[in-house]
Amino acid sequence: MKHKKESTMKLGTLCPNLNLKLPSSDEQNVSKFLTKSGTFVDGDLRVNKYGVRIPPLIQPLDNQICLADFDAIKVVGKGTSGIVRLVQHKWTRQFFALKVIQMSVEESTRKQIAQELKINLSTQCPYVVLCYQCFYDNGAISIVLEYMDGGSLADFLKKVKIIPEPYLAAICKQVGTLGREVKITDFGVSTILASTSGQANTLIGTYNYMSPERIRANRHGYRSDIWSLGVILLECAVGQFPYSPPQEEGWTTVFELMETIVEQPPPVAPADQFSSEFCSFISECVQKDPNARRSANELLTHPFITMFEDLDIDLASYFTHAGCPLTTF
């Protein structure tokens, strides 16, 4: 055992030649380590007034972990073929999301699940929810994922009701350029966003955001995702699903909703509530003809996105303080 060596220096008068030189301006300048929002960044270390973020103790694809190493805390999500639980690693006390998917599903769904696994396991990117390990047992696949304690967009929207335009623009830009505060997950297996219409959420699911051509089973490409983006953004802006059900009790069948999306005019942003730039952006996204929709690259240069570039928008702080993070217990 090593002990700290005692100092032999005695107290006395200061040396007359002692030079108490202040650090040079270059030494004092830490701006190169700071982001616009005042976050200190050095490699994987990120520190701001709200705390510190460092790499996790357990790394992705850690073959030393097994299902028995986790304690289940609570259910945080459900789907038609699976469930997501918050779990805690017994030894490191680190939290994870454990997605358990029953494989007794249609062949097409199994292929989707396999595709998600391939993408998850081949992607180690700070902008995609990390996959740490996966297991197959008793007819179910269990996927150990990074736990995003800020919740989903649907969780956040329930708390704040609406999201202001500057933050919607920042979200769009981060999704388009892979930002750190908004992460991608699920890759088409689970729902995109639970409807805020409050009616038949479990029945409708992702049909809310399907483009007309997908509903018609026509050929579709990435422009179908542009439609989905427009509908989701408008829902975030107005606080409710932008299509109104034909009766007060809400959507009674999924076919009723699908018929509305196909037959009715596309939703619009109310001009008296939003900027002309936002209204134009939504319109560019939800054109019934997919060829008339803007591409993702074109949308990133749209005035709605560029008009807020001079603002120092800190999405991480907004998500944290506008809607409290999900509790772990």
Per-residue model confidence (pLDDT) at position 204 = 39
CA-based nearest residue to 175, from 109, 225, 139, 224: 225
**How is residue 104 annotated by DSSP?**
-
Phi–psi pair at 73, nearest 5 degrees? -100, -55
Query: Could you tell me the maximum CA-CA distance found in the chain, to the nearest angstrom?
Result: 91
Quick one: CA dihedral 23, 24, 29, 32, positive or negative? Answer: negative
Could you state, in order of their start, the residue ranges of all structural domains in the chain?
67-146, 153-322
Give the whole-angstrom CA distance, residue 135 versus residue 269.
45
* Tokens 């769904």 -> residue: 109
Angle at the Cα of 179 (from 42 to 51), degrees rounded to 5? Answer: 45
The per-residue pLDDT for range 222-261, each reduced to its tens digit, is: 788 899 899 999 999 999 899 888 777 777 788 888 999 9
Does 27 have pLDDT greater than 80? Answer: no
Give the whole-angstrom CA distance, residue 206 versus residue 147.
22
In terms of C-beta density within 10 A (0-12 exposed, 13-18 middle, 19 or more buried), how is residue 32 classed?
exposed
More reliable by pLDDT, 319 or 224: 224
CATH number of 153-322: 1.10.510.10
Give the whole-angstrom CA distance, residue 56 versus residue 35.
22
Angle at the Cα of 48 (from 172 to 23), degrees rounded to 5? Answer: 130
| Contact between residue 149 and residue 328 where contact means Cβ atoms under 8 Å apart | yes
Alpha helices in 69-178 (DSSP H): 107-122, 153-160, 165-177
| Secondary structure element (H or E) that encloses residue 318, with its range | helix 315-322
Tell me, what amino acid is at 141? Answer: I
| Contact between residue 211 and residue 224 where contact means Cβ atoms under 8 Å apart | yes
Phi–psi pair at 177, nearest 5 degrees? -115, 10
pTM of the model: 0.60
Give the whole-angstrom CA distance, residue 104 versus residue 164.
42
Direct distance between the N- and C-terminal alpha carbons of the chain, in angstroms, rounded to an integer:
40
Per-residue model confidence (pLDDT) at position 227 = 92
Determine the length of the chain. 329
Mean predicted confidence (pLDDT) in 62-88 = 82
Per-residue model confidence (pLDDT) at position 281 = 97
Mean predicted confidence (pLDDT) in 157-185 = 70
The per-residue pLDDT for range 253-303, each reduced to its tens digit, is: 888 889 999 999 999 999 999 999 999 999 999 999 999 999 888 998 999
Phi–psi pair at 11, nearest 5 degrees? -70, 145
Domains 67-146 and 153-322 in one fold? no
Per-residue model confidence (pLDDT) at position 81 = 67
Residue burial 171-202, b: 16+ Cβ < 10 Å; e: rest: bbbbbeeebebbbebebebbbbbbbbbebbbe
CA-based nearest residue to 158, from 327, 322, 329, 328: 322
Per-residue model confidence (pLDDT) at position 209 = 87
The per-residue pLDDT for range 113-150, each reduced to its tens digit, is: 777 777 666 666 565 678 888 887 777 888 888 887 76
Number of other residues whose CB lies within 10 A of the CB of residue 41: 14
**CA gyration radius for the chain?**
25
CATH superfamily of 67-146: Phosphorylase Kinase; domain 1 (3.30.200.20)
User: Is 99 part of any known ligand binding site?
Assistant: yes
Q: At what angle do helices 153-160 and 315-322 cross, to 10 degrees?
A: 60
The region, left, alpha or beta by phi > 0 then psi within -120 to 50, assigned to residue 102 is beta
